[in-house]
Amino acid sequence: MSVCRYVANYPLKPKINTKQINFMKFISSGNAPRRCSATADSTTAMANSVRVAVAQMTSTNDLAANFATCSRLVKEATAAGAKLLSFPENFSYVGAEDGDSLKIAEALDGPIMKQYCSLARESNIWLSLGGFQEKGSDDSHLCNTHVIVDDNGNIRSKYRKIHLFDVDVPGGMVYKESRFTEAGKDIVAVDSPFGRLGLTVCYDLRFPDLYQQLRFQEQVQVLFVPSAFTKITGQAHWEILLRARAIETQCYVIAAAQAGKNNNKRESYGDSLIIDPWGTIVGRLPDRLSTGIAVADIDFSLLDSIRTKMPIDKHRKPIDFWKASAL
Ligand SMILES: O=C(O)CNC(=O)[C@H](CS)NC(=O)CCC(=O)C(=O)O
Protein backbone atom coordinates (compact mmCIF):
# COMPACT_ATOMS: atom_id res chain seq x y z
CA MET A 1 0.00 0.00 0.00
CA SER A 2 1.21 3.45 -0.75
CA VAL A 3 -0.01 6.32 1.35
CA CYS A 4 0.93 9.91 1.01
CA ARG A 5 -0.33 13.10 2.51
CA TYR A 6 -3.15 14.85 0.64
CA VAL A 7 -2.04 18.39 -0.09
CA ALA A 8 -3.86 21.28 -1.70
CA ASN A 9 -0.93 22.29 -3.90
CA TYR A 10 0.00 19.29 -5.92
CA PRO A 11 3.63 18.63 -6.76
CA LEU A 12 3.81 17.34 -10.29
CA LYS A 13 6.84 15.07 -10.10
CA PRO A 14 5.66 11.51 -10.60
CA LYS A 15 6.96 9.10 -7.95
CA ILE A 16 8.32 6.67 -10.50
CA ASN A 17 10.64 4.95 -8.05
CA THR A 18 7.88 4.19 -5.57
CA LYS A 19 5.77 2.76 -8.33
CA GLN A 20 8.54 0.52 -9.58
CA ILE A 21 9.38 -0.69 -6.10
CA ASN A 22 5.72 -1.48 -5.40
CA PHE A 23 5.46 -3.29 -8.68
CA MET A 24 8.50 -5.45 -7.94
CA LYS A 25 7.20 -6.23 -4.45
CA PHE A 26 3.96 -7.38 -5.97
CA ILE A 27 5.65 -9.64 -8.48
CA SER A 28 7.84 -11.19 -5.81
CA SER A 29 4.79 -11.94 -3.65
CA GLY A 30 3.45 -14.01 -6.53
CA ASN A 31 0.51 -11.71 -7.25
CA ALA A 32 1.34 -10.04 -10.54
CA PRO A 33 -0.68 -6.88 -11.04
CA ARG A 34 -1.93 -5.89 -14.48
CA ARG A 35 0.08 -3.04 -15.83
CA CYS A 36 -0.49 -0.82 -18.76
CA SER A 37 3.09 -0.57 -19.95
CA ALA A 38 4.39 -2.96 -22.58
CA THR A 39 7.39 -3.91 -20.43
CA ALA A 40 5.26 -4.88 -17.48
CA ASP A 41 2.87 -6.87 -19.65
CA SER A 42 5.63 -8.89 -21.24
CA THR A 43 7.20 -9.53 -17.83
CA THR A 44 4.01 -10.78 -16.25
CA ALA A 45 2.39 -12.44 -19.28
CA MET A 46 -1.00 -12.11 -17.61
CA ALA A 47 -4.40 -12.09 -19.30
CA ASN A 48 -5.28 -8.58 -20.28
CA SER A 49 -8.70 -8.34 -18.76
CA VAL A 50 -10.34 -9.21 -15.47
CA ARG A 51 -13.99 -9.23 -14.44
CA VAL A 52 -15.24 -7.03 -11.64
CA ALA A 53 -18.68 -6.30 -10.21
CA VAL A 54 -20.44 -3.34 -8.63
CA ALA A 55 -23.24 -3.73 -6.07
CA GLN A 56 -26.33 -1.67 -5.39
CA MET A 57 -28.32 -2.07 -2.18
CA THR A 58 -30.62 -0.35 0.33
CA SER A 59 -28.84 -0.71 3.66
CA THR A 60 -30.79 -0.08 6.86
CA ASN A 61 -30.04 -0.03 10.58
CA ASP A 62 -30.13 -3.84 10.67
CA LEU A 63 -26.51 -5.07 10.59
CA ALA A 64 -27.48 -8.74 10.13
CA ALA A 65 -29.90 -8.04 7.27
CA ASN A 66 -27.30 -5.91 5.47
CA PHE A 67 -24.70 -8.66 5.85
CA ALA A 68 -27.20 -11.20 4.45
CA THR A 69 -27.76 -8.97 1.41
CA CYS A 70 -24.00 -8.56 0.91
CA SER A 71 -23.51 -12.35 1.14
CA ARG A 72 -26.19 -12.91 -1.49
CA LEU A 73 -24.62 -10.32 -3.80
CA VAL A 74 -21.19 -11.92 -3.35
CA LYS A 75 -22.67 -15.24 -4.52
CA GLU A 76 -24.13 -13.52 -7.58
CA ALA A 77 -20.79 -11.87 -8.34
CA THR A 78 -18.77 -15.08 -8.10
CA ALA A 79 -21.36 -16.93 -10.23
CA ALA A 80 -20.89 -14.21 -12.86
CA GLY A 81 -17.12 -14.78 -12.80
CA ALA A 82 -16.20 -11.55 -11.00
CA LYS A 83 -12.98 -11.52 -8.97
CA LEU A 84 -13.85 -8.32 -7.11
CA LEU A 85 -17.11 -6.82 -5.84
CA SER A 86 -17.50 -3.21 -4.77
CA PHE A 87 -20.15 -2.28 -2.18
CA PRO A 88 -21.56 1.22 -1.59
CA GLU A 89 -20.85 3.65 1.25
CA ASN A 90 -22.61 2.52 4.46
CA PHE A 91 -23.00 -1.02 3.10
CA SER A 92 -23.00 -2.53 6.61
CA TYR A 93 -25.22 0.05 8.33
CA VAL A 94 -27.31 3.17 7.76
CA GLY A 95 -28.48 4.73 11.03
CA ALA A 96 -32.11 5.81 11.36
CA GLU A 97 -31.38 8.62 13.83
CA ASP A 98 -28.57 11.15 14.21
CA GLY A 99 -25.68 9.59 16.07
CA ASP A 100 -26.78 5.96 15.56
CA SER A 101 -23.65 5.25 13.51
CA LEU A 102 -21.44 6.25 16.44
CA LYS A 103 -23.01 3.55 18.59
CA ILE A 104 -22.11 0.75 16.18
CA ALA A 105 -18.70 2.14 15.09
CA GLU A 106 -15.90 -0.40 15.49
CA ALA A 107 -12.20 -0.80 14.86
CA LEU A 108 -11.22 -2.57 11.63
CA ASP A 109 -10.25 -5.66 13.65
CA GLY A 110 -13.71 -5.72 15.29
CA PRO A 111 -16.46 -8.32 14.72
CA ILE A 112 -18.28 -6.48 11.90
CA MET A 113 -15.28 -6.12 9.59
CA LYS A 114 -14.09 -9.63 10.55
CA GLN A 115 -17.39 -10.98 9.23
CA TYR A 116 -16.80 -9.30 5.86
CA CYS A 117 -13.20 -10.52 5.75
CA SER A 118 -14.47 -14.10 6.27
CA LEU A 119 -17.02 -13.58 3.49
CA ALA A 120 -14.21 -12.55 1.12
CA ARG A 121 -12.05 -15.53 2.12
CA GLU A 122 -14.85 -18.11 1.93
CA SER A 123 -16.01 -16.83 -1.46
CA ASN A 124 -12.49 -16.29 -2.79
CA ILE A 125 -13.27 -12.74 -3.94
CA TRP A 126 -11.76 -9.29 -3.34
CA LEU A 127 -14.12 -6.74 -1.74
CA SER A 128 -14.18 -2.97 -1.85
CA LEU A 129 -16.02 -1.98 1.32
CA GLY A 130 -16.63 1.71 1.02
CA GLY A 131 -17.87 3.84 3.87
CA PHE A 132 -17.42 1.60 6.90
CA GLN A 133 -18.12 3.25 10.26
CA GLU A 134 -14.67 2.92 11.81
CA LYS A 135 -14.19 3.98 15.44
CA GLY A 136 -12.55 7.41 15.51
CA SER A 137 -9.86 8.91 17.71
CA ASP A 138 -12.43 9.79 20.42
CA ASP A 139 -15.85 8.47 21.47
CA SER A 140 -17.77 11.21 19.69
CA HIS A 141 -16.28 10.63 16.23
CA LEU A 142 -15.96 7.92 13.62
CA CYS A 143 -14.08 7.71 10.34
CA ASN A 144 -15.90 7.01 7.09
CA THR A 145 -13.44 4.36 5.92
CA HIS A 146 -13.12 2.54 2.60
CA VAL A 147 -11.47 -0.86 3.09
CA ILE A 148 -10.02 -3.20 0.46
CA VAL A 149 -10.07 -6.86 1.47
CA ASP A 150 -8.32 -9.50 -0.64
CA ASP A 151 -9.55 -13.00 -1.48
CA ASN A 152 -7.72 -14.42 1.55
CA GLY A 153 -9.72 -12.14 3.82
CA ASN A 154 -6.79 -9.83 4.56
CA ILE A 155 -7.21 -6.06 4.72
CA ARG A 156 -4.94 -4.66 2.00
CA SER A 157 -5.73 -1.01 2.33
CA LYS A 158 -7.83 1.59 4.13
CA TYR A 159 -8.81 5.11 3.10
CA ARG A 160 -10.62 7.58 5.35
CA LYS A 161 -13.00 9.95 3.54
CA ILE A 162 -11.33 13.34 3.18
CA HIS A 163 -14.21 15.59 2.08
CA LEU A 164 -17.14 15.60 4.51
CA PHE A 165 -20.70 16.32 3.35
CA ASP A 166 -21.68 19.47 5.27
CA VAL A 167 -24.23 20.68 2.75
CA ASP A 168 -27.62 22.37 2.62
CA VAL A 169 -28.97 20.49 -0.41
CA PRO A 170 -31.07 22.88 -2.53
CA GLY A 171 -34.68 21.67 -2.20
CA GLY A 172 -33.54 18.89 0.14
CA MET A 173 -32.15 18.24 3.59
CA VAL A 174 -29.29 19.79 5.52
CA TYR A 175 -26.36 17.42 6.16
CA LYS A 176 -23.51 17.86 8.61
CA GLU A 177 -21.34 14.82 8.29
CA SER A 178 -18.55 16.47 10.31
CA ARG A 179 -20.70 16.40 13.46
CA PHE A 180 -19.83 12.75 14.02
CA THR A 181 -17.11 12.11 11.46
CA GLU A 182 -13.45 13.08 11.45
CA ALA A 183 -11.92 13.74 8.06
CA GLY A 184 -9.07 11.65 6.72
CA LYS A 185 -5.89 13.32 5.50
CA ASP A 186 -4.17 10.59 3.51
CA ILE A 187 -4.52 9.77 -0.16
CA VAL A 188 -4.48 6.00 -0.69
CA ALA A 189 -3.55 3.77 -3.64
CA VAL A 190 -2.90 0.03 -3.62
CA ASP A 191 -1.71 -2.60 -6.11
CA SER A 192 -3.98 -5.53 -6.88
CA PRO A 193 -4.68 -8.13 -9.59
CA PHE A 194 -7.12 -5.50 -10.94
CA GLY A 195 -4.41 -2.93 -11.51
CA ARG A 196 -3.43 -0.10 -9.22
CA LEU A 197 -6.48 1.07 -7.30
CA GLY A 198 -7.33 4.57 -6.06
CA LEU A 199 -9.71 4.80 -3.11
CA THR A 200 -12.25 7.57 -2.56
CA VAL A 201 -15.75 7.88 -1.03
CA CYS A 202 -18.96 9.62 -2.18
CA TYR A 203 -18.69 13.44 -1.76
CA ASP A 204 -14.95 13.20 -2.64
CA LEU A 205 -16.24 12.87 -6.21
CA ARG A 206 -16.77 16.64 -6.36
CA PHE A 207 -13.09 17.40 -5.77
CA PRO A 208 -11.20 16.52 -8.95
CA ASP A 209 -7.80 17.46 -7.48
CA LEU A 210 -7.90 14.26 -5.43
CA TYR A 211 -8.41 12.18 -8.59
CA GLN A 212 -5.68 14.08 -10.45
CA GLN A 213 -3.33 13.27 -7.59
CA LEU A 214 -4.33 9.60 -7.68
CA ARG A 215 -3.74 9.35 -11.42
CA PHE A 216 -0.64 11.48 -11.91
CA GLN A 217 1.22 10.99 -8.62
CA GLU A 218 -0.02 7.58 -7.55
CA GLN A 219 -0.37 6.15 -11.08
CA VAL A 220 -3.68 4.43 -10.42
CA GLN A 221 -5.67 2.63 -13.12
CA VAL A 222 -8.99 2.00 -11.37
CA LEU A 223 -10.88 4.52 -9.23
CA PHE A 224 -13.52 3.56 -6.67
CA VAL A 225 -16.30 5.94 -5.61
CA PRO A 226 -18.63 4.00 -3.26
CA SER A 227 -21.50 6.33 -2.45
CA ALA A 228 -24.77 7.17 -0.73
CA PHE A 229 -25.71 10.15 -2.91
CA THR A 230 -28.88 12.09 -2.20
CA LYS A 231 -31.71 11.70 -4.69
CA ILE A 232 -31.65 15.39 -5.68
CA THR A 233 -27.91 15.77 -6.17
CA GLY A 234 -27.61 12.35 -7.74
CA GLN A 235 -30.16 13.07 -10.43
CA ALA A 236 -28.41 16.34 -11.26
CA HIS A 237 -24.71 15.42 -11.00
CA TRP A 238 -23.85 11.74 -10.40
CA GLU A 239 -23.28 10.35 -13.89
CA ILE A 240 -21.68 13.46 -15.35
CA LEU A 241 -19.16 13.77 -12.50
CA LEU A 242 -18.24 10.08 -12.64
CA ARG A 243 -17.76 10.08 -16.40
CA ALA A 244 -15.70 13.25 -16.18
CA ARG A 245 -13.41 11.64 -13.58
CA ALA A 246 -12.99 8.57 -15.84
CA ILE A 247 -12.22 10.64 -18.94
CA GLU A 248 -9.86 13.17 -17.34
CA THR A 249 -7.86 10.48 -15.51
CA GLN A 250 -8.15 7.77 -18.20
CA CYS A 251 -9.07 5.31 -15.47
CA TYR A 252 -11.80 2.76 -14.96
CA VAL A 253 -14.32 4.09 -12.43
CA ILE A 254 -16.32 1.74 -10.21
CA ALA A 255 -19.11 3.56 -8.39
CA ALA A 256 -21.35 1.49 -6.10
CA ALA A 257 -24.49 3.24 -4.86
CA GLN A 258 -27.04 3.01 -2.10
CA ALA A 259 -30.51 3.10 -3.70
CA GLY A 260 -34.03 3.74 -2.50
CA LYS A 261 -35.39 4.46 0.98
CA ASN A 262 -32.87 3.56 3.70
CA ASN A 263 -35.29 4.83 6.35
CA ASN A 264 -38.09 7.40 6.77
CA LYS A 265 -35.73 10.34 6.45
CA ARG A 266 -33.31 9.16 3.86
CA GLU A 267 -33.59 8.26 0.20
CA SER A 268 -30.48 7.52 -1.84
CA TYR A 269 -29.83 7.82 -5.56
CA GLY A 270 -29.01 4.47 -7.18
CA ASP A 271 -27.46 4.08 -10.63
CA SER A 272 -24.32 2.14 -9.73
CA LEU A 273 -21.87 2.42 -12.62
CA ILE A 274 -18.72 0.92 -14.08
CA ILE A 275 -17.14 3.32 -16.58
CA ASP A 276 -14.18 2.65 -18.88
CA PRO A 277 -11.24 5.06 -19.38
CA TRP A 278 -12.88 6.49 -22.51
CA GLY A 279 -15.93 7.48 -20.44
CA THR A 280 -18.20 4.75 -21.78
CA ILE A 281 -20.60 3.16 -19.30
CA VAL A 282 -19.87 -0.58 -19.37
CA GLY A 283 -21.92 -1.66 -16.35
CA ARG A 284 -25.03 -0.12 -14.82
CA LEU A 285 -27.77 -0.71 -12.26
CA PRO A 286 -30.54 1.86 -12.76
CA ASP A 287 -31.99 3.70 -9.76
CA ARG A 288 -35.26 1.74 -9.90
CA LEU A 289 -33.43 -1.55 -9.21
CA SER A 290 -32.75 -1.30 -5.50
CA THR A 291 -30.56 -4.39 -5.06
CA GLY A 292 -28.27 -6.25 -7.45
CA ILE A 293 -24.91 -6.35 -9.19
CA ALA A 294 -23.56 -5.33 -12.58
CA VAL A 295 -20.37 -6.81 -14.03
CA ALA A 296 -17.79 -5.55 -16.51
CA ASP A 297 -14.33 -6.55 -17.68
CA ILE A 298 -11.43 -4.28 -16.87
CA ASP A 299 -9.51 -4.29 -20.15
CA PHE A 300 -5.89 -3.25 -19.70
CA SER A 301 -5.22 -3.19 -23.45
CA LEU A 302 -7.93 -0.56 -23.84
CA LEU A 303 -6.53 1.46 -20.94
CA ASP A 304 -3.01 1.20 -22.37
CA SER A 305 -4.15 2.17 -25.83
CA ILE A 306 -6.12 5.24 -24.64
CA ARG A 307 -3.17 6.45 -22.57
CA THR A 308 -0.69 5.88 -25.41
CA LYS A 309 -2.77 7.56 -28.09
CA MET A 310 -3.75 10.53 -25.92
CA PRO A 311 -0.80 10.96 -23.53
CA ILE A 312 -2.29 13.53 -21.16
CA ASP A 313 0.31 12.60 -18.54
CA LYS A 314 3.00 14.00 -20.85
CA HIS A 315 0.96 17.01 -22.00
CA ARG A 316 0.02 18.13 -18.51
CA LYS A 317 1.60 21.46 -17.52
CA PRO A 318 2.88 21.95 -13.98
CA ILE A 319 0.81 24.41 -11.94
CA ASP A 320 3.83 26.78 -11.75
CA PHE A 321 3.99 26.91 -15.53
CA TRP A 322 0.53 28.31 -16.11
CA LYS A 323 0.58 30.53 -13.06
CA ALA A 324 3.71 32.25 -14.32
CA SER A 325 2.49 32.66 -17.88
CA ALA A 326 -0.75 34.28 -16.70
CA LEU A 327 1.17 37.24 -15.30
O1 LIG B 1 -24.15 9.99 6.94
C2 LIG B 1 -23.87 8.80 6.82
O3 LIG B 1 -24.46 7.91 7.45
C4 LIG B 1 -22.77 8.39 5.86
N5 LIG B 1 -22.40 9.41 5.00
C6 LIG B 1 -23.05 9.71 3.88
O7 LIG B 1 -24.04 9.14 3.49
C8 LIG B 1 -22.48 10.85 3.14
C9 LIG B 1 -22.48 12.00 4.10
S10 LIG B 1 -24.09 12.43 4.70
N11 LIG B 1 -23.17 11.21 1.96
C12 LIG B 1 -22.60 11.93 1.01
O13 LIG B 1 -21.41 12.24 1.05
C14 LIG B 1 -23.52 12.34 -0.14
C15 LIG B 1 -22.86 13.21 -1.17
C16 LIG B 1 -23.84 13.73 -2.14
O17 LIG B 1 -24.99 13.34 -2.19
C18 LIG B 1 -23.39 14.75 -3.12
O19 LIG B 1 -22.19 15.06 -3.21
O20 LIG B 1 -24.26 15.27 -3.83
Distances (CA, A) of 246 to 217, 223, 243, 299: 16, 8, 5, 14
Q: What CATH number corresponds to the domain at position 294?
A: 3.60.110.10
- Where does residue 48 rank: exposed (0-12), middle (13-18), buried (19+ CB within 10 A)? middle
37 in any annotated domain = no
DSSP class per residue in 129-179: EEEEEEE-SSTT-EEEEEEEE-TTS-EEEEEE--S--EEE-TTS-EEEGGG
Cβ proximity of 153 and 129 under 8 Å: no
30 in any annotated domain = no
Question: Which residues of the chain register pLDDT less than 50?
Answer: 1-45
- Look at the alpha carbons of 128, 199, 281, 259 in this order and tell me if their dihedral is positive or negative: positive
32 in any annotated domain = no
Testing ligand 1's pocket by substitution, the residue of 101, 203, 267 carrying the most ligand atoms inside 8 A of its CB is: 203
pLDDT tens readout for residues 142-178: 999 999 999 999 999 999 999 999 999 999 999 999 9
Is 202 catalytic? The answer is yes
246 in any annotated domain = yes
31 in any annotated domain = no
Length of the chain (residues):
327
ipTM score: 0.91
- Ligand 1 atom closest to the Cα of residue 163 is 13
pTM comes to: 0.87
Which residues form ligand 1's pocket by a CB distance below 6 Å? Answer: 89-90, 94-95, 101, 144, 165, 175, 177, 202-203, 206, 228-230, 233
17 in any annotated domain = no
16 in any annotated domain = no
pLDDT tens readout for residues 231-242: 999 999 999 999
172 in any annotated domain = yes
Cβ-proximal residues to 111 (8 Å cutoff; 6+ apart), any chain: none
Domain of residue 113, residue span = 2-7+46-325
How many separate domains does the chain show?
A: 1
DSSP class per residue in 275-297: E-TTS-EEEEE-TT--SEEEEEE
Cβ proximity of 254 and 83 under 8 Å: no
